[in-house]
Structures are given as structure tokens and as C-alpha cells.
Structure 1
């Protein structure tokens, strides 16, 4: 395959997630030869292109204008122009814009060409030490605590490694919610600032990682890939919630937040908080 762009084709180009040396020679050649580059943030992409001495027309294509831009880009491709799609970092469409554009291009009978490279999720999985033969990528969990705990509950019994992205200002809240739903013994890996100067990959139980981040606030900085060990078979078979426990939960959820109610019920009954939390969700009709 030629390293030069071909007229009428869309190139989905992966860019570095931190270390600029990770831009592949093929990606560089494509970016230098397309007619226009559709970028999630043109300011960010301008800096990347400037580093490599690449000068090309930039077109903003992000979550808020992607549908409109897709129509424009399809017309440009049909007119014989070549276009590259890039996100701010990593592979486009992986928790980044681009789905509507690629879908529109393919529905128009045009060609979308992958130019692979860095992807934070794959990079983290490769060094996590967690099983990688089967895994599930969730993307970002809900920002609000109630929605986040509900989604973690839905993923709690998944038997294989699952992966989420998380921001620095929510990482400790996310760990607290995982402790509530999964318990303190589930194994996690926190991959932070991958390929950058302060890259760290921490492995341990939920409780151990909570302690590490609380004692060293520097470990709360940067963008995170969070990898969660799949549920052991013994955990997939839910512990039975007794009638007494359900009665206690019924009273507590009327007065307290669900997270606090399940923790108190666990202390009173000796059961784990996860099945009690699930029972509370059912009681609340969520």
C-alpha cells in the first residue's frame, strides 16, 4: 500500500498519546499528503503538525458539529479530495469523535482507510498483567456518582477484564464507588500518563490503590486507564439476600443514599455490600 494519500479516500489516523516519537512514518506521510485534516481540536493538532513540519488545511470535526461536518467531508471526498481524520490523542472513534463521519463515508460508498498506531486502552492492557484474551472496553463511566455506581453494578459480574477511562478529578470518587460495589479485594490496574514523563502503572486491590492515591496525591494527576479484573466465578453466583436483609435495606434506602444504606446493611447482616447494593437498586426501581 502506498504511503501517499489517494484522492477520494478518508484516512483514520492514530496520533501519539504522549510521546511524539510514536507517530508512525506512514501516518506522517499520510498527514503530509492529504488535502485536508479533520481534527477534534484544531489548536491541539496544529501543535502536533508543527512539530513535524506539516502544513495542511485543518477542519474542526468534534462532538458538537460532526454530523454537519460529515456531509461536507463526504462532498469533498466525492469531489476527489483526500481527507485525514485525527483526534487529540490516540485512535479516532475510541472514546473520541469520528463514528458519524466514518459511517457517512461508508454509506456513501467511499473508502475509509485505517492508519493504525497508539491507543491508550490497548497500551494499558498490554502491560497490565490482567487476562487479555477477552476483554470489554466501556469508555467513560457516567460522571455522576449514582449513574457511575449503577453502571459498575452492571459490570460487576462480567467474567473478563474490563476497561474504563477516567479523569484526574474523578479518579478517587470512582475508586470509592468501586469499593462500594465490588468490595475492597477486586484487583485493579491504574495506568496513568502512558508514554509521558510521569507514566506509572499501579496494580493492586481496590483498597490498596485507594490507600496509595490518598497518600500520594501526585498519583491522582493525569489521564487514567483503569483495568478491572473479571469477577471470580464465586462472585458471579450472588450471595443470597435474606428476607431480614431486604427488610433492613427497605428501611434504610428511604432515609439514606443507596451507597451508605448498603454499607450499613452489610455491617448489620454480615453480608457483602455488593448484593445489598443490587437489592437496593431494585427497591428504588433503578
Structure 2
């Protein structure tokens, strides 16, 4: 390992926001594990990583004795005195024991740690991004269909549309562009799971907000929605401005606004009624 690794850690901290200290601590822990795995040792060892030069050194803990019986666990008093002048018999000291080929193993280990940390950071960013977008409509491309579950590409990740979230009678094909409503974002060890729906009543609400400026601006309110996804829906609307017809605003000129929503929902019938607080 070299200064190139240290420079890479600086760049990762700067560009990805992963603290260099956290990366170094993860590398140190992984190096200890890698040493024990590759050299099958039960010795107490400490793998030191120099965060200025990138140099890796292995130190083995040994007991100071007058006569060595096991050189893996013990060190002679005379030899120990050269390293630790004040040591005494029975003291535990650390002696460098860096294997000749450990540099290659260390470099591979550090690379794996950095890659893993980058993946974790990427997953965290995706989770935070879509957690903020929970309750929104997204547009993506169907990537695959497995066991009736539809997976939709959403940039760096994918949305999951379970069978209950699919409109009955709709056909889904790989490569098809599709809109859906994000209703739940879960963080898992394998990354975020983003659940989307086309049957959720809030999907219909958001479609009207996108299609009808008066709803988006808050002039017209959707008071309630009753939906049988794929069949029929009924919404009640109320205008906060007496000059604005709430039903007319939702229907749009020549019925264009509501027809756009009906087309998006594959022909689902939509009844729009004026809200009555005393039905």
C-alpha cells in the first residue's frame, strides 16, 4: 500500500462524504481479520496502518521469558531488552511480525473495504433520497417481472410493485414506461426497498394534483376519494374560491384533464362530484 491509497481516501471523503477516519478504522479491522485468516494464527496480533504513508505493519504480542519454549508466544529477555529496555520477565510486549507477502494481502483487503464502504454510502444516499420522495409519483421503466412482482428502474435503484399494487387487467411488459406512487421506503442490509403502487388512492390524488393546476395551487381541494382500482373511482372536490368551479376545473376544457388521468389508469371510470358537507 502507498500514498496513492491515502490520496484516494482523501478524494472519497471529499467527493462522497465518507469520513477518512471511518474508512481507516474499517481498513484496520479488516486487516486484522485478513491476517488471522491468511496465516491461521491464534496469536494476539495487532495490525497497524499508518494513515500518513499507507504502510502496514503486523505486531505479535509475546511474553518476556528467560528461556523460550514457544517462539510464537514468547521472546527471550535479552532480545526483548533491545526493543523495550525497561521490560521485565512476564511482561507482554509487541514484536513486529509482518509477513513478506502481507503487503499484497493488505492492498487487496483495503480495496475491498473501500468498495464496500462506497456501496454502503451509495445505498444510504439512495435511501435518504427516496425517503424524502415518499408520497410522490415517479416514472420509470419496467426492468423485469418475477413471480408477478414488477421491478421498475428508477435511476440508480428500482421500485417494487407487488401484485396487490397492480391494477387488475393491466398488462405490464419489460421496457414499458410507467408511473407509480411511492408509498413506502424500507432500509435493508441489501439496500433500500422502494415500494410503489398504481392502486393506492393517493396515486389518483397525485395524478389530479399534477393534471389540475387549481388543485396543485390549493384553490380546489380533494375532500375524499373512493376507489376501486381498474374499475371506478369517485372523488369529491371543493373550491375555496367561489369564482372557480371545482368540478369544471378537474374535468378541464372539453374533458381533457380528466381524460388524461383516465388514459393513465387504462380506462378507469372517474366520477367527480362537488363536496357537500351536509349530504
> Is the TM-score greater than 0.5?
no
Shorter-normalised TM-score: what interval? under 0.3
Higher strand share: 2
TM-score, scaled to structure 2: 0.25
Higher helix share: 1
